[in-house]
Structure 1
Amino acid sequence: MTPVSTIRNLGPAVEQACARAGIHSAEELRALGPDTAYARLIGSGTRPHFIGYYALVMGLQGRPWNDCQGKEKDDLRARFDAIKAAASPAKSERSEIERVLDEIGVIEKAR
């Protein structure tokens, strides 16, 4: 089992975030692929950040994080936005505090 931090661009913080997401090795991360892995990271509490996402993509390709430019970067941005949107809870999945605030009219009603 090879540590996640052995992958280019990924350090101890990413390794810890991966562990929280149930990804415990570089091999598991590679098998999942960047999109599924990043969705799992978001699902486990990692705050979505485009640079973090494309650093992961570039690292899995063995490239430096800042090697992404032009159309490739635009395409990765579209993938990131889709992953982020899919990982965001729907309005109907509100927390208890949001439900109460909705009830008293402080926030918009869930649809």
Structure 2
Amino acid sequence: MPSPWHSHRTVPSVLCQGPSCPLPSPQPATSDASYARAGITSAQALRDIGPDAAYARLLAHGSRPHFIGYYAMVMGLQGRPWNDCKGAEETALRARFDAIVNAALADDSESLRFHRRPST
């Protein structure tokens, strides 16, 4: 049976070794090269760093902020489908994402372009 990640790819393929890897593979928004630029070269390194620090590294090394990329990475590290997060959990995850992006903006406001979906 194919992995649930094949249609929603967000974490680089180099971070995943073997068919049973719970991490998704790359999407244009977050490519192998993006993770490599940030010094994240293995699935174990990503797990060791944790999703928030890893995402901060991605932003510091030139990746543009994208909530779904962050969201899917967090879900993938938990072994969950990329779209498994709903309600209060998703709201809390969005607050974490915004805090990471705002800290990155404070560090280097000229190099990042912050794109946020309009609030409803």
TM-score range for the pair, normalised by the shorter chain length: 0.7 to 0.9
Higher helix share: 1
Question: In the TM superposition, what are the counterparts of 1:90-109 in structure 2 within 5 Å?
Answer: none
TM-score by length of 1: 0.73
In the alignment, what sits opposite 1:74? Answer: 91
Structure 1 residue runs of 5 or longer lacking an equivalent are: 96-111
TM-score by length of 2: 0.68
In the alignment, what sits opposite 2:60? Answer: 43
For 2:83, what is the secondary structure of its paired residue?
A: helix
In the alignment, what sits opposite 1:53? Answer: 70
In the alignment, what sits opposite 2:14? Answer: 3
**How far has the Cα of 1:90 moved from its partner?**
5.5
**How far has the Cα of 1:4 moved from its partner?**
1.1
Give the counterpart of 2:38 among 11, 14, 21: 21
Which amino acid in 1 is paired with 2:26?
G
- Identity over aligned pairs, percent: 56
**Residue 84 (1) aligns with residue 95 (2):** no
Contact kept? 1:3, 1:25, Cα under 8 Å: yes
Structure 2 residue runs of 5 or longer lacking an equivalent are: 1-12, 112-120
Count of residue pairs the alignment pairs up: 93
Counterpart CA distance in 1 for 2:16 and 2:101 is 23
